[in-house]
Structure 1
Amino acid sequence: MIRNRDSIVIREFDASKDSKGVEDVERRCAVGPSGKLCLFTDLLGDPICRVRNSPAFLMLVAATGEENEIVGMIRGCIKTVTCGQKLSRAPPNPKTHHHLPVFTKLAYILGLRVSPAHRRMGIGMKLVKKMEEWFRENGAEYSYIATEKDNVASVNLFTEKCDYSKFRTPAILVNPVFARPLPVSQRVTILPLSRADAEILYRRRFSTTEFFPRDIDAILDNVLTLGTFLAFPRGTYTPQTWPGSDRFLLDPPESWAVLSVWNCNDVFKLQVRGASRLKRSLARTTRVLDKAFPWLRLPSVPELFRPFGLHFLYGLGGEGPEAGRMVKALCGYAHNLAKERGCGVVATEVSARERLRGAIPHWKMLSCEEDLWCIKRLAEDFSDGSVGDWTKSAPGLSIFVDPREF
C-alpha cells in the first residue's frame, strides 16, 4: 500500500466496495476531443471484466485516505507471447515453418484512469509504478501499453516519466453493422473450423508472429470466441471432404485466409460521442431511406449514439495472391454474424505493415489509423536471449492482437 502526501492510497480493487466509485471515474473521464467522432467504453457491471480472461490479472485503485473516494484506477495482466523467431536446425521446408518462436513473459497495462479533479498530482505515475511492481514480482520481462498517439498526456506519462519507448503503430479498423446482410462472394468457400483444427492452423502458421499468445488454446476455448473461419477458393474442399488442418497445411490451396470472432458484446458496450446534430440527422436519414427503399441497398448508418456491442476479429491472416479477396469474404461473413447478434460494429486491429489491411472494410471516421503501442524492458536477464532486447527490434509484417485485451 502506498500513501502520498495528499493521503492518496493505492490498493487492490475490492468489488464489494469499489465498483460504484470506479464507474463514477469512468463516467467523468469519458470526455473526447471537441468535434471528433469517438468510441467510448461503457463497462457492464464488472470493472475487471476486461482482463479477467487473461492468465494473470490485477486491478488497482487510487482512493482518498479519509473519504475512501475512488479517484483513479489501472488494470494489468500477464501472459507469454512470441517476441521474435529463431532458425530451426531442421532443413528448410517450403510447406512447413523452419523457424521457431521465441517466447517472453509480457505484461499489459490498460484502463488507466484518473479523475479530472485529481490530475497533475502524480496519481497516474503511482498507479503505473505499483502495477509494474506486481509485474516484476510475477516474472514479467516486458510491459507495454496501447494509447492514442494524439493523447499527449498519456504518451508523455509513459515515455517521459515511466521510461517506455514508442514501439508499434497498429491500426484499429472499425466497420458499422448495416441493416441488411452483406453479400459474400460465391467464388469463396467459408468453412467453420473445429477448435482443434483452429489451434493447429494458428500454431503452425502464426506462432512466430509478434505477440502471438502461447495459450492460444485458452483463447479458442473461451466462450467469447464464437468461431474460427477459413476461406479458400470454391471447389477446393467441402465440409464433407475437409481433411483437417494438418493435411490442409501440407498442401494448401494457392490462396486462403482465416480469422476468429470474439464476442465483446457480452463484456462491454461502446458509444459514439462528439457527433454534431447534423451528423446525427444524416445518420438517421440513411436509416429512413434504407427502410423505405430497400432495393437501393443503401449503406445505412446504425444507431451508434446509444450504447451498442461489437465483435472483434482476431487471428486475421492468409497467404497467396488472392488472400485479400478471401479476407474480404470473411469480413462480410463476420459482419452478417454480428448483425444476427445485434452488434453495432465489427472491429479488428492490424500491423501498420499488414499486407491484407487494404482488404478489410472499415469507416475512417470510426477507425484509428495509427494506434500507439509503447514498451518497456522490466527484466535484465531473459529466459531466451536469442532475440536480444525486444524493445529495439524492427517491426514485422504482422502482429497478433489478443482479443482479451481489446
Structure 2
Amino acid sequence: MTVVREYDSSRDLAGVEDVERRCEVRPSGKLSLFTDLLGDPISRIRHSPSFLMLVAETGTEEKEIVGMIRGCIKTVTCGKKLDLNHKSQNDTVKPLYTKLAYVLGLRVSPSHRRQGIGFKLVKMMEAWFMQNGAEYSYIATENENQASVNLFTGKCGYSEFRKPSILVNPVYAHKVNVSRRVTVIKLDPVDAESLYRLRFSTTEFFPRDIDSVLNNKLSLGTFVAVPRGSCYGSGSGSWPGSSKFLEYPPESWAVLSVWNCKDSFRLEVRGASLWRRVVAKTTRVVDKTLPFLKLPSIPSVFKPFGLHFMYGIGGEGPRAAKMVKSLCGHAHNLAKRGGCGVLATEVAGEEPLQRGIPHWKVLSCQEDLWCIKRLGDDYIDGALGDWTKSPPGASIFVDPREF
C-alpha cells in the first residue's frame, strides 16, 4: 500500500534525504551525478510563485518514504501576437502568456521502482496543477533516461517539445581574462527588469514575474557587455538606462544574469576511478601553483560542489557572441570568488549565441529533453491555441529557479 501526501518537514526530512542520496540525477557512462539539497528539500522550488512537494509512503506500522516529487506554477510567455490597436504607425508585437506548471525532482527509491509509484506521484501533482489553474505542465529529462521518457511520454501523455543544450564549464584555479575591448556594466535590478521586458518578453518561457527573479537574494546581478570606446563603454556614468540603450544600441552588445545555486543545493560525481581522481587533482595543483600559465584544470567534483547558473543570455550585432564570451569570463571569476566548482547555463539548441559560451563537452549535455502536456483548453489573451504544437524558436528563457 502506497500513500501519496504532502511533504511534512517535521517528520519527512530524514526519509527524503535518504531517497535523494540513493537516486542519481544524470547518469553519464560510468559516472553518476547526485544532489544534496542542504537539508531543505523544497529549496529548489520555494522561490516560485506557487509550489508543492509530495512524498510517497509505504508500510503500515513502520512507514518508509520511497519517493517524492516537486512542482511549481508560474505565468510565462508561450508565443506572441501583433497588437493592431497600438497607436504607433508600426504594429507592436505583444507576448502571449499562459499558466505553466513544472515537474521536477521526481525520485523513486531504487528498491521500489516498477511498482507504479512514479506514475502515482505525477498524477497527484497534475491534479494539484489543474486545481490551481495551470494550463500546461512540462518536465525536463535526458534522452538517455529511457525509463523517465517512457513514463512521461508513454503513460502520462506528454510529448517531446524542446531539446535545449546544457553547457557546463569548470571553474579554474586561475582567473579568466576578460577582453580589454569590452566593457562590462552591472545593472541594478530595476534597470535589468526594464531591459528584459523590453527585449525578451516575447521569448518563449519568459517568466512574467521576472522582477521576482532579479530581486531574489540568490540573484548575483545582471551584466551588459558593450564595446570599449563606445558611448556606453567610456566609464562610469555612461549608462543611460535600458530604454535609452535599446533605442540607440551600439553595433554589438550582450547581456546575461547570474544565479547562485550553491546556496540551494550541491552536486557530487560518483563512480570515478582512482586514476581519474589523480589526474583531476594534478591539474588543480598545477593550475594553483602556476596560475599565470592559464592552464585549464578539473575542479574537485568528486565531493559536494556548488555551481552558478547563467540565464537571460541575449544580445545583438556581429560581435554579440564575443560579447557573451566576455560576460561568461566575468561570470567565471564571480564563481571562482564564490567557491563554486562549475558554471552552467541552458540555452535553445539553435541559439546563435551558443558559440560564445565556453564549455566542456564531457561535462555538458548537448540535447536535454523537455516534454510538455496540455492540461486543459486554454484561452489566452483572446487567442485560442495549443502551445504543444508550436514550432521551436531560436531562443528560450530558462528560469534559474527551476534549474
TM-score (norm 2): 0.96
Identity %: 69
Contact 1:141/1:382 (<8 A) preserved: no
Q: Which residue of the partner structure matches residue 77 of structure 2?
A: 82
Q: Structure 1 residues 34 and 53, CA, compared in 2 at 3 Å: closer, same or farther?
A: closer
Q: Look up the match of 2:116.
A: 122
Measured against aligned partners, the alpha-carbon deviations of 1:283-338 in whole angstroms (never above 9, x if no partner) come to 11212222343332211212111101110001011111100010000000000000
Structural mapping, 1:315-334, within 5 Å: 315-334=312-331
What residue number does 1:219 align with?
Answer: 213
Cα distance between partner residues in 1 of 2:207 and 2:288:
44
The change in CA–CA distance for 1:33 and 1:260 in structure 2 (over 3 A counts) is closer
The aligned residue for residue 64 of structure 1 is: 58
Is structure 2 residue 148 aligned with structure 1 residue 154?
yes
Per-residue deviation, residues 20-72 of structure 1 (Å, max 9, x unmatched): 00001111213864744443221111101110000000000000141221000
Q: Please state whether the residue corresponding to 1:266 is helix, strand or coil.
A: coil
Structure 2 equivalent of residue 359 of structure 1: 356
Partner of 2:306: 309
Q: Residues 25 and 32 of structure 2 are in contact (CA less than 8 Å); yes or no, is this contact kept in structure 1?
A: no
Matches of residues 129-208 of structure 1 in structure 2 within 5 Å?
129-208=123-202
What CA deviation, in whole Å up to 9, does each residue of 1:328-381 have, x standing for no partner?
000000000000110111100000010000110011111111100000000123
Closer, same or farther: CA 306–312 of 1 in aligned 2, 3 Å: same
**Could you say what secondary structure the match of 1:112 adopts?**
strand
Matched, 1:372 2:369: yes
Q: Distance in 2 between matches of 1:301 and 1:170?
A: 25
Q: Tell me: CA distance 1:35–1:375, structure 2 relative to 1, closer, same or farther (3 Å).
A: closer
Aligned residues: 398
Find the aligned partners of 2:308 and 2:322 in 1 and give their Cα distance: 21
Q: Secondary structure at the match of 2:262?
A: helix
User: Which of 328, 334, 338 is the equivalent residue of 2:335?
Assistant: 338
Instruction: State how far apart, in whole Å, the 1-side matches of 2:70 and 2:78 are.
Output: 22
TM-score (normalised: structure 1): 0.95
SS at match of 1:356: helix
> 2 CA distance for matches of 1:156 and 1:177?
35
Distance 1:360 1:387 in 2: 37
Q: Whole-Å Cα distance in 2 between the matches of residues 81 and 280 of structure 1?
A: 42
Partners of 1:252 and 1:292 in 2: CA distance: 43
Deviations 1:64-91 (A, max 9, x none): 1412210000000000000000012237
Partner of 1:4: none
Equivalent in the alignment of 2:105: 111
Are the counterparts in 1 of residues 325 and 356 from structure 2 also a CA contact under 8 Å? yes
The residue aligned with 2:3 is 9
Partner AA of 2:268 in structure 1: Q
1-side partners of 2:195 and 2:220: how far apart?
17
Are the counterparts in 2 of residues 64 and 70 from structure 1 also a CA contact under 8 Å? yes
Rounded Cα–Cα distance in structure 1 between residues aligned with 2:332 and 2:285: 21
**Mean Cα deviation higher: 278-287 or 103-112:** 278-287
Relative distance call for 1:387 and 1:402 in structure 2 (3 A) is farther
Q: 1:173 to 1:383 in 2, by over 3 A?
A: same
Secondary structure, in 3 states, of the residue corresponding to 1:81? Answer: strand
**Structure 2: how far apart are the matches of 1:203 and 1:349?**
20
- Mean alpha-carbon deviation: is it higher for 296-305 or for 176-185? 296-305
Q: Distance in 1 between matches of 2:96 and 2:312?
A: 19
CA distance in 1, matches of 2:27, 2:203: 34
Distance 2:28 2:44 in 1: 27
User: Does the CA contact (< 8 Å) of 1:35 and 1:274 recur in 2?
Assistant: no
